[in-house]
Chains A and B, each alone.
Chain A
Amino acid sequence: MPTASSSVPSQGSDRKDLSRPFRKSSLDVASFVFGGLTGLATLLILAILAIILGNIIWHGWAGFSWRFVTSGTSQGMFDVDQAGVLPMILGTTARVMLMTLFVLPIGVITAVYLTEYASSTSLFTRIIRGAVNNLAGVPSIVFGLFGLGFFINFIGGGIDEFLLPNRPEPVWGKPAIFWASLTLAVMTLPVVIVATEESLKAILPGLREASLALGATKLETIVMIVIPQAMPGILTGGILAVSRAAGEVAPILFTGAAYYMASLPRALTDQFMDLGYHVFILSTQSPDIERTRPILYATVLVLLLLTLALNFVAILIRARMRRKMRVAAH
Chain B
Amino acid sequence: MGLQRGHRARPLEWLVERGIFLVSLSAILMIFLIFLFVGREALPIFFGRTNSSLVQETIPVDKLDSIPKPKLKEYLGLTDSELAGLDRETLQELMALKIEGAQQAPKDKDADVNTTAWRYLLKPHQWTGYDRAEFIWQPVSQIHKYNIIPLVIGSLKATLVALMFAVPLALGAAIYVSQLAGPRTKEWLKPTIELLAGIPSVVLGFFSLIVLATVMQNLFGYQSRLNAFVAGIALGLAIIPVVFSIAEDALSSVPRSYTQAALALGSSRWQAAWKIVLPAAIPGVFAAVALGFGRGIGETMVVLMASGNASIVSWSVFDSTRTMTATIAAELAETVFGGHHYRMLFMIGTLLFVVTFLSNLAGDLIIHRLKGRLEGKR
Could you mark each residue 258-297 of chain A with 1 if its beta carbon is under 8 Å from any beta carbon of chain B, else 0? 0000000000000000001101100110000100010010
Question: Could you tell me the distance between the alpha carbons of A137 and B31 in the complex, rounded to whole angstroms?
Answer: 11
A119 at interface by CB-CB < 8 Å: no
A1 at interface by CB-CB < 8 Å: no
**Band of interface residues on B:** 35 or more
Which candidate, B64-72, B93-101, B124-132, B354-362, is the interface stretch facing chain A?
B354-362
| A38 lies within 8 A of B329 (CB) | no
Contacts of A97 in B (CB 8 A): none
| A42 lies within 8 A of B189 (CB) | yes
Question: Could you tell me the distance between the alpha carbons of A216 and B376 in the complex, rounded to whole angstroms?
Answer: 35
Which candidate, A4-12, A49-57, A79-87, is the interface stretch facing chain B?
A49-57
> Given A41-B172, A139-B298: A146 and B34 within 8 A (CB)?
yes
Question: Could you tell me the distance between the alpha carbons of A273 and B275 in the complex, rounded to whole angstroms?
Answer: 53
> Given A39-B180, A45-B169, A134-B357: A283 and B209 within 8 A (CB)?
yes
| A279 lies within 8 A of B206 (CB) | yes
B33 at interface by CB-CB < 8 Å: yes
| A45 lies within 8 A of B20 (CB) | no
Could you mark each residue 343-368 of chain B with 1 if its beta carbon is under 8 Å from any beta carbon of chain A, else 0? 00110010011001101110110001
A106 at interface by CB-CB < 8 Å: yes
> Given A31-B269, A139-B299, A189-B26: A41 and B176 within 8 A (CB)?
yes
| A127 lies within 8 A of B173 (CB) | no
| B202 lies within 8 A of A280 (CB) | yes
B177 at interface by CB-CB < 8 Å: yes
Question: Could you tell me the distance between the alpha carbons of A134 and B268 in the complex, rounded to whole angstroms?
Answer: 39
- The listed residue (A32, A44, A134) touching B361 by CB distance below 8 A is A134
Contacts of A137 in B (CB 8 A): 291, 294-295, 298, 356-357, 359-360, 363
- The listed residue (A25, A32, A130, A312) touching B364 by CB distance below 8 A is A130
Task: Classify the secondary structure of A's interface with B.
Answer: helix
| A134 lies within 8 A of B360 (CB) | yes
Could you mark each residue 296-316 of chain A with 1 if its beta carbon is under 8 Å from any beta carbon of chain B, else 0? 100010011001101110010
| A219 lies within 8 A of B17 (CB) | yes
| Residues B1-54 near A (CB distance < 8 A) | 1-2, 10, 13, 16-17, 19-21, 23-28, 30-31, 33-34, 37-38, 40-41
Contacts of A141 in B (CB 8 A): 298, 300, 325, 328-329, 349, 352
Could you mark each residue 262-285 of chain B with 1 if its beta carbon is under 8 Å from any beta carbon of chain A, else 0? 000111111101100000000000
B232 at interface by CB-CB < 8 Å: no
- The listed residue (B192, B210, B295) touching A283 by CB distance below 8 A is B210
Q: Give, as a whole number of angstroms, the nearest-CB distance from B43 to chain A.
A: 11
B121 at interface by CB-CB < 8 Å: no
B252 at interface by CB-CB < 8 Å: no
Could you mark each residue 214-234 of chain A with 1 if its beta carbon is under 8 Å from any beta carbon of chain B, else 0? 010111000000000000000
The residue on A at minimum CB distance from B209 is: A283
> Given A46-B192, A134-B357, A139-B299: A150 and B33 within 8 A (CB)?
yes
- The listed residue (A106, A146, A303) touching B33 by CB distance below 8 A is A146
Which candidate, B102-110, B141-149, B193-201, B253-261, is the interface stretch facing chain A?
B193-201
- The listed residue (A22, A48, A142, A300) touching B237 by CB distance below 8 A is A48
> Given A38-B172, A128-B24: A219 and B16 within 8 A (CB)?
yes
- The listed residue (B41, B333, B353) touching A139 by CB distance below 8 A is B353
Contacts of A135 in B (CB 8 A): 27, 30-31
Q: Give, as a whole number of angstroms, the nearest-CB distance from A108 to chain B.
A: 9
| A45 lies within 8 A of B173 (CB) | yes
Most buried by A among B10, B169, B202, B291: B202
Could you mark each residue 73-108 of chain A with 1 if its beta carbon is under 8 Å from any beta carbon of chain B, else 0? 000000000000000000000000000000001100
| A38 lies within 8 A of B191 (CB) | no
Task: Classify the secondary structure of B's interface with A.
Answer: helix
| Residues A113-151 near B (CB distance < 8 A) | 113-114, 117-118, 126-128, 130-146, 148-150
A180 at interface by CB-CB < 8 Å: no
Question: Could you tell me the distance between the alpha carbons of A245 and B204 in the complex, rounded to whole angstroms?
Answer: 15
Q: Give, as a whole number of angstroms, the nearest-CB distance from A145 to chain B.
A: 4
| B328 lies within 8 A of A190 (CB) | no
| B266 lies within 8 A of A18 (CB) | yes
A246 at interface by CB-CB < 8 Å: yes
B187 at interface by CB-CB < 8 Å: yes
Q: Give, as a whole number of angstroms, the nearest-CB distance from A250 to chain B.
A: 4
Contacts of A176 in B (CB 8 A): none
| A303 lies within 8 A of B203 (CB) | yes
Contacts of A56 in B (CB 8 A): 203, 207
Q: Give, as a whole number of angstroms, the nearest-CB distance from B98 to chain A.
A: 26
> Given A38-B173, A146-B37, A189-B30: A24 and B364 within 8 A (CB)?
no
Question: Could you tell me the distance between the alpha carbons of A250 and B171 in the complex, rounded to whole angstroms?
Answer: 28
| A145 lies within 8 A of B38 (CB) | yes
- The listed residue (B180, B193, B305) touching A284 by CB distance below 8 A is B305
> Given A56-B203, A109-B23, A247-B201: A149 and B40 within 8 A (CB)?
yes
Contacts of A150 in B (CB 8 A): 33-34, 37
Show 26 A/B contacts (Cβ-Cβ < 8 Å), sorted by A. A17-B266, A24-B266, A31-B268, A31-B270, A35-B180, A37-B172, A39-B176, A45-B173, A45-B244, A46-B193, A131-B27, A135-B31, A138-B31, A138-B298, A138-B353, A140-B300, A141-B352, A145-B328, A146-B38, A189-B30, A193-B27, A219-B16, A247-B198, A283-B206, A307-B199, A315-B191
A interface residues (Cβ-Cβ under 8 A, vs B):
17-18, 22, 24-26, 28, 30-32, 34-35, 37-42, 44-46, 48-49, 52, 55-56, 105-106, 109-110, 112-114, 117-118, 126-128, 130-146, 148-150, 154, 186, 189-190, 193, 212, 215, 217-219, 243, 246-250, 253-254, 276-277, 279-280, 283-284, 289, 293, 296, 300, 303-304, 307-308, 310-312, 315, 319
B interface residues (Cβ-Cβ under 8 A, vs A):
1-2, 10, 13, 16-17, 19-21, 23-28, 30-31, 33-34, 37-38, 40-41, 168-173, 175-177, 180-181, 187, 189, 191-207, 209-211, 237, 240, 244, 265-271, 273-274, 291, 294-295, 297-301, 304-305, 325, 328-329, 332-333, 345-346, 349, 352-353, 356-357, 359-361, 363-364, 368
